[in-house]
Amino acid sequence: MWSDYPNPAHGRNQGSPSDWNTTVWDKKNMNLVAFVQNKTTKEVMQVEMISRRNMVASLPPVLSAISDITISEDSTTLVVASATDPDGDPLSYSATADTSAIEFLVSNNEVTVKPLINWNGTSVVTVKVTDGFSSVEQAFTLTVTAAPDPPGAFAWTDPTSENDSIVVTSSNGNDNFLIGWESSVDPDGDAVTYKLAISHPPHSVPGIMTQPFSSTSRSFAFAEFIGLWPSSLQMINRLNYKFNVYAYSGSDSIEVTGTRQLFVERSGDLNTESIGIPNTFVLHPNYPNPFNPETQIRFEMPYAGNVDLSIYNLLGMKVKTLYAGQKSAGVFEFKWDGKNDHNQSVSGGVYIYKLQSGQQMQMRKMILLK
C-alpha cells in the first residue's frame, strides 16, 4: 500500500525520521494513527488507528453558596466548602479577601479564615474551586466585631538587675530605693493604670496590692521596708521583697515582663520606732474641734497598705472621702474644709470620721460649727 504519510496536510509527524516508525494525528478524521513506513519507497507496512478524540467539553465544578459569618476580634473561623465536579475531576480550593488584614490556611476543602490580631471590621471573602479546566467562586461577608484588648506588654526599667539588696540602719532610713517600668500601651487607646504587688517568698505571709495609680515608678524610703516587715517574721533580720506590677485597662490586665527582688537586711535590733515609724495603728482626735471652717485629721500607720479615710453624717451616709489609696508606714495628716464630695458646703452638726486599713478600723466624732 502506497501512502503520502507523513504529509503536513494530515498533521504533525510525531515520530523519528530515521526509521519512520511513527504516529501521526489525522486531524481530518480526528484519529491518532500509528504506522511503519519504508523510508525509501514510502510504502506503509502497518497502520493502526489508536484512538478517536472525544470533543465533549469539560463541565465546570459546582460550588454551594456560603453563608455570611460573624466572629469576635482575635478569633478564627473554619469554612468547609461543598463542591462537586460533573466529570469527576479532582478539585483544588483557594480563598481571597478584599483586605490584606485576613489570612487563609487551605487544606482540601477546609478554609481557615484568620484575621490579623486586633483587626475588626467587614470584608468580602471569596472561595474559589477549580478542576484544572475551569473554576467557580462563591463570596460571603465576614464581620469581625471589636473586642476589648489587654494592655500591651511592658518591662522593668529600674532597677536594671533582677536582684538587689540593701542594709537598713538607724542612719539611712531616709535613703530611697526606686522601682520603675515602661508604659503599657492599650491597643484600643484606653487609659492604663497600674497596681504594685509586694510579696515575701519563700514565706507564705499576706502580701500587699496597691490601689490603681497612673505613674510608672515608685520610690521607697528604706524605712518603709521596715514598716512593711510582716509581724509574723519579726524574728528574722533578712527578708525578700518581690515586686510585681500589673497594667489594667478596664477589666483586662497584663503582668510586667520579668521579676525584681530586693533583699532587705536590718542591722542589729533595728525596729520601726528607732527609725521614726509608728508601732501602732492610731487615728488621733481632729484639731481644732469644734471647728469652722476647717480641721486637721492625723493618723499613724505602722505598715504600708491600702487606706480609706472618710467622713459620715449621723445617718451613716458618706459625706466626703478624704483619701483612698496606698500609704506607706508613717504619720499622715489631712484637712477637711466642711465640704462634701461635690465640693458643696455641708450643714453644721456632728460628723464621724473613720480610718480603715485592712482589718484595722478606728472612728472618732467631730463638730462642725455654722
The 10s digit of each residue's pLDDT in 163-192 is 999 999 888 887 889 999 999 999 888 899
Read off the pLDDT of each residue in 223-249 and give the average, rounded to a whole number: 88
Residue 4 pLDDT > 60, yes or no? no
The pLDDT of residue 325 is 84
Read off the pLDDT of each residue in 203-229 and give the average, rounded to a whole number: 84
What predicted TM-score, i.e. pTM, was given to this entire model? 0.52
Output the nine-digit C-alpha cell for 351: 460628723
Task: List the CATH code of the domain at 282-368.
Answer: 2.60.40.4070
Query: What does the DSSP 8-state code read for residue 272?
Result: T
Phi, psi torsion values for 226, nearest 5 degrees: -70, -40
Tens-place pLDDT, residues 271-330: 555 566 777 889 999 999 999 999 999 999 877 778 999 999 999 999 999 999 878 777
152 compared with 330, residue with greater pLDDT:
152
Lowest-pLDDT choice from 56-65, 158-167, 343-352: 56-65
The pLDDT of residue 230 is 83
Output the nine-digit C-alpha cell for 249: 485597662
Residue 19 pLDDT > 80, yes or no? no
Read off the pLDDT of each residue in 127-152 and give the average, rounded to a whole number: 93
Domain-wise residue ranges, the chain: 21-52, 62-145, 156-270, 282-368
User: Rounded to whole angstroms, how far apart are CA atoms 194 and 46?
Assistant: 94
Output the nine-digit C-alpha cell for 331: 504619720
Provide the percentage of residues in the chain whose pLDDT is more than 70. 83
Residue 47 pLDDT > 90, yes or no? no
64 compared with 38, residue with greater pLDDT:
64
User: Rounded to whole angstroms, how far apart are CA atoms 3 and 37?
Assistant: 9
Provide the percentage of residues in the chain whose pLDDT is more than 90. 58
Q: Which of 360, 284, 349, 351 is nearest to 318 (CA)?
A: 351
Task: List the CATH code of the domain at 156-270.
Answer: 2.60.40.1930
Query: What does the DSSP 8-state code read for residue 182?
Result: P
The pLDDT of residue 301 is 85
The CATH architecture to which 62-145 belongs is Sandwich (2.60)
Residue 331 pLDDT > 50, yes or no? yes
The pLDDT of residue 28 is 53
Tens-place pLDDT, residues 114-127: 999 889 999 999 99
Fold match, 62-145 / 156-270: yes
User: Rounded to whole angstroms, how far apart are CA atoms 237 and 243?
Assistant: 19
Order the strands of the 330-336 sheet from edge to edge. 282-283, 295-301, 330-336
Classified as helix, coil or strand, 232 is: helix
> How far is C-alpha 98 from the chain's CA centre?
26
The pLDDT of residue 25 is 54
N-term to C-term CA, the chain: 137
Phi, psi torsion values for 366, nearest 5 degrees: -150, 160
User: Rounded to whole angstroms, how far apart are CA atoms 120 and 145?
Assistant: 6
